[in-house]
Structure 1
Amino acid sequence: MNMKISMIALDLDGTCLDSRGEMTDRTRKILEKYGKAGTEIVFTTGRPIAGILKELRSIPGTNYAIALNGGLVYQLADNSIIYRKSIDKREVMLVRDIVLRHDALTDVASGGLGIGDKKTYDRAENYIKNDDFRKYYLSSRGSKQNLWENLEELESVEKINMFFSDMDDRRKTLEELKILKTSKVCSGMPNNIEINHGEVNKGNALKWLCEKLDIDISELIAFGDGGNDIDMIKTAGCGVAMANACEELKEISDIITKSNDEDGVAYILERYSLA
């Protein structure tokens, strides 16, 4: 494997972070090596920007980050938004009506900030069983009383997120969401639903960023595990699926590596010529 790597795009949960939500020393060291050599390290996540933690931003080469599945691109030096795609306000209202009929832990992202609905935010343990991920989730979002009844107060909504304890209820919600015309519905985890503007995906955001930085897309290697990584993996010059990835992602990837708990990202990057 001797492709030129000018950018490494990395999903976080289930990809470059292990099951505890942490990056191992082995993965960090290989990313630092690439970053110091001039490679752009771009964390490309469904999380809001607050979810890209300080210890990740300190890795050399992390000048930009893609959040909310590609709804926002950040320049990390000054934490400024350099690219944004918001959900149509009429469709936000349609989603609100659907959300209020179901039992789900819900939040919206507005201007990059995650805001949870207090009624379910205070019962997050019912919807997110992994203690480490739940701790991250609660720490990266505030909560608002009657969020869904007061959506008009928000200037924009870049993403809507739902976590379900009842998978049958999730299935019914997905059916109802088919009414949306200009929004995209996907999933980053088995029990969640994520909604963005229809043109938003990690692949499109990466194309935009590569063009801005004058990087040929063939020099991009991307790593992911979930359904919200499909466009990114298709876009990259080399798309890598983790061993723990969903089957749909594995089917369209160029390489399947080891799992996120086996340093699958490092396993691949160590085998390229720079390493």
Structure 2
Amino acid sequence: MIKIIFTDMDGTFLDSTGTYNKAYFKEVYRKIKEQNIIFVPCSGKQCERIEELFDDYGEELHIIGDSAARIKYRGKYIYEALLDNNTAKEIIKDFSAQYDVAIVACTSEGAYVKDTISEEDFKVIRHSYAIVKKIKDYAELTDNFIKVSIYDKKKRCFTILKDLKKYADRAYIVASEDAWIDITHKKVHKGAAIKWLIEHLHLNRAEAMGFGDGPNDIELINEVEYSFSVSNAVDELKEKSFFITKSNDEDGVLKTIDMILKLQEVIHE
């Protein structure tokens, strides 16, 4: 029996326009609740941004956000793993000198960008973060970081990634797509957060289902028994998933969940 469902957001649950079929979700979510299943969105976006996306349902969901550095439930963070302040600033300084990219420094107070950021880049970043503040210098930030994200509108992130290997023993670094790199605590990734939440809820991986599309979802599908890639996923993830469903633009995640719920209903009749 499936008791918990994890899904990546961008490219998986969300369609190419960054939204989802809300009428269909309302119908499927009603069935999810009827079967006492826990639905968990997983994203690089701020937890607050995910709450906004799910309107009236946001606060009742367990949300794995901020690139799996945080889990939020009913307005409180129940899990948090922070990136050392010195490590984060060293990476920021290094990359600011090497590349013309937008850097997002995330702390518990919100997401910070340089006040020199272009309006074009700021609009893109604002799409993923509910709280974005502009600062003159990242040196102003004294707390440890939730994460650092690099946005490259030239889409060179898979190439840029090799220059971050020297920090691999101090941070977890992954390109979620060709325009984004996420840098978190070295033990932070979707798989670690999912494993923690499953144990926290006294469940097990045999009761878990998960969906993804990118290389940063490999850890996600490794922690669930029933793993799905959407048809638009990268080949690497498809090869590691047990099933391939329809694309993010065809409501692949919702259709699969709906089908599984109907099967579980029949089994328990």
> TM-score scaled by structure 2?
0.88
Q: What SS does the aligned partner of 2:72 have?
A: strand
Q: Which amino acid counterpart does residue 204 of structure 1 have in structure 2?
A: A
1:97 counterpart = 2:93: yes
Which of 105, 121, 129 is the equivalent residue of 1:108?
105
Which of 111, 125, 138 is the equivalent residue of 1:148?
138
Q: What SS does the aligned partner of 1:157 have?
A: coil
Percent identity (aligned): 24
Q: What SS does the aligned partner of 1:115 have?
A: strand
Q: 2:108 & 2:153 partners in 1: Cα distance?
A: 28
Q: 1:5 & 1:32 partners in 2: Cα distance?
A: 15
Q: Which amino acid counterpart does residue 264 of structure 2 have in structure 1?
A: L
Task: Tell me the residue number matched to 2:62.
Answer: 64
Determine if contact 1:49/1:112 at 8 Å carries over to the other structure: no
Which of 166, 180, 205 is the equivalent residue of 1:179?
166
Determine if contact 1:19/1:260 at 8 Å carries over to the other structure: yes
Q: Any unmatched runs of 5+ in structure 1? A: 129-133
> TM-score scaled by structure 1?
0.86
Task: After TM superposition, list the pairs within 5 Å mapping 1:1-275 onto structure 2.
Answer: 4-24=1-21, 25-54=23-52, 56=54, 58-59=56-57, 62-75=60-73, 77=74, 79-101=75-97, 102-111=99-108, 113-120=110-117, 122-124=119-121, 128=124, 136-137=127-128, 140-151=130-141, 153=142, 155-168=143-156, 170=157, 173-180=160-167, 181-272=169-260, 273-274=263-264
Q: 1:205 & 1:28 partners in 2: Cα distance?
A: 26
Measured after TM superposition, the shift of residue 234 of structure 1 is: 1.0
Cα 1:96/1:31, change in 2 over 3 Å = same
Q: Which amino acid counterpart does residue 99 of structure 1 have in structure 2?
A: F
Q: CA RMSD in A?
A: 2.3
Q: Which amino acid counterpart does residue 239 of structure 1 have in structure 2?
A: S
Q: 1:34 & 1:220 partners in 2: Cα distance?
A: 13
Cα 1:61/1:51, change in 2 over 3 Å = closer
Cα 1:59/1:146, change in 2 over 3 Å = same
Determine if contact 2:228/2:242 at 8 Å carries over to the other structure: yes
Number of equivalent positions: 260
Cα 1:65/1:167, change in 2 over 3 Å = closer
Cα 1:118/1:61, change in 2 over 3 Å = closer
Q: 2:158 & 2:256 partners in 1: Cα distance?
A: 35
Q: What SS does the aligned partner of 2:45 have?
A: coil
Measured after TM superposition, the shift of residue 69 of structure 1 is: 2.1
Q: What SS does the aligned partner of 2:264 have?
A: coil
Q: 2:192 & 2:55 partners in 1: Cα distance?
A: 22
Q: 1:36 & 1:244 partners in 2: Cα distance?
A: 30
Cα 1:206/1:93, change in 2 over 3 Å = same
Deviates more, 1:184-193 or 1:142-151: 142-151
Q: Which amino acid counterpart does residue 212 of structure 1 have in structure 2?
A: H
Determine if contact 1:106/1:121 at 8 Å carries over to the other structure: no
Measured after TM superposition, the shift of residue 206 of structure 1 is: 1.1
Q: 1:61 & 1:268 partners in 2: Cα distance?
A: 24
Q: 2:81 & 2:233 partners in 1: Cα distance?
A: 27
Q: Which amino acid counterpart does residue 66 of structure 1 have in structure 2?
A: I
Measured after TM superposition, the shift of residue 242 of structure 1 is: 0.9
Determine if contact 1:187/1:228 at 8 Å carries over to the other structure: yes
Q: Which amino acid counterpart does residue 35 of structure 2 have in structure 1?
A: A
